[in-house]
Homo-oligomer: A and B are copies of this chain.
Amino acid sequence: MSNEPIIFYDIPSTAPGCAWSPNTWIIRYALNLKGLEYKTVWVEYPDIADLCKRIGAAPSMIRKNGSPYYTLPVIEDPATGTVLSESLLITEYLDATYPGTHALIPPGTRTLQRSSYDHVTTASTEYIMPAVADILRPRSKGYFVRTREESFGKKLADMTPTGEAHEIAWKELEAGFGRVSSWMKDDMFVMGDVVSYADLVVAGEFQWFKKSFGEESDKWKDMLTWQGGRWAKLVNNLQKYEGPAEEAPISE
């Protein structure tokens, strides 16, 4: 067993605080909620696959063409020698390995926690891509734009709807969160008065928009009003678990 902090691999940006990715935010919140010591290692997009292969982190999925798809978050825990990818698996691991800390996937809820994930994450991807490209650092940006345009089969600039379709898509995005909100009734968190993985998924989505569009954007200001401001309250409630603002290394 080593006393070294957990190594948490994240993707840098030029946004304030550096962290921006919705999925890595889940683990950033989780580590802070659990009070575990960690050290962020920033990895530019073109380096993610090589890193994962080198340290033995599994791909998060296999593409239809059979090739592995490597993503962050990934953690490396010197205390146990464990290397793990994917936010749900990492959260499960942290719950099991550090039982004295805040449990984020209460017993019996893993499948349910995972199934809640899709409700707030499916609608937004195409919407936010161009804004993400704008906050990435140069090496990541080139890689991100090329791979996303290949994957979606269109120019990034053409992915976000415009004019009336833009208004409709934005309302649909809000409606996705509205569905979850209606199930939550007056609860602060998905499971009532205790934070769990599902809340971190929602908060991660909000961080994604905040960092990509910026705090001064109309989009972010609008999101803070969604569902009577309930998500603004959630993000605010979790602010103490964001950890310190970080900076990416100067060299790329």
**Interface, chain A (partner B; CB < 8 A):** 106-116, 118-119, 180, 183-184, 187, 190-192, 194, 198
A-B contact pairs, 7 of them (CB 8 A): A107-B192, A110-B183, A111-B116, A111-B183, A112-B115, A112-B190, A112-B198
Q: How far is the CB of A191 from chain B (nearest CB, A)?
A: 4
Distance in Å from the Cβ of A12 to the closest Cβ of chain B? 31
Tallying the copies of this chain within the complex gives: 2
Give complex CA distance A115, B115 in Å. 7
- In the complex, A111→B110 CA distance in Å? 14
Task: Find the B residue at minimum CB distance from A118.
Answer: B119
Cβ distance A45 to chain B, nearest Cβ, rounded Å: 26
In the bound complex, do residue A109 and residue B109 qualify as a contact, i.e. CB atoms below 8 Å apart?
yes
- A interface: dominant SS: helix
CA distance A190 to B113 in the complex (A): 11
Chain B residues with Cβ under 8 A from A111's Cβ? 116, 180, 183-184, 187, 190-191, 198
**Neighbouring B residues of A107 by C-beta, 8 Å:** 192
**Residue from B106, B115, B194 in contact with A116 in the complex, judged by beta carbons closer than 8 Å:** B115
A110: nearest residue on chain B (CB-CB)?
A: B183
Chain B residues contacting A110 (CB-CB under 8 Å) are 183
User: Shortest distance in angstroms between A162's beta carbon and chain B's nearest beta carbon?
Assistant: 24
Q: Are B108 and A183 in contact (CB under 8 A)?
A: no
Are A180 and B112 closer than 8 Å at their CB atoms?
A: no
User: Which B residues touch A108, using CB under 8 A?
Assistant: 106, 191-192, 194
| 4 nearest A-B residue pairs (beta carbon) | A112-B112, A108-B191, A115-B116, A111-B183
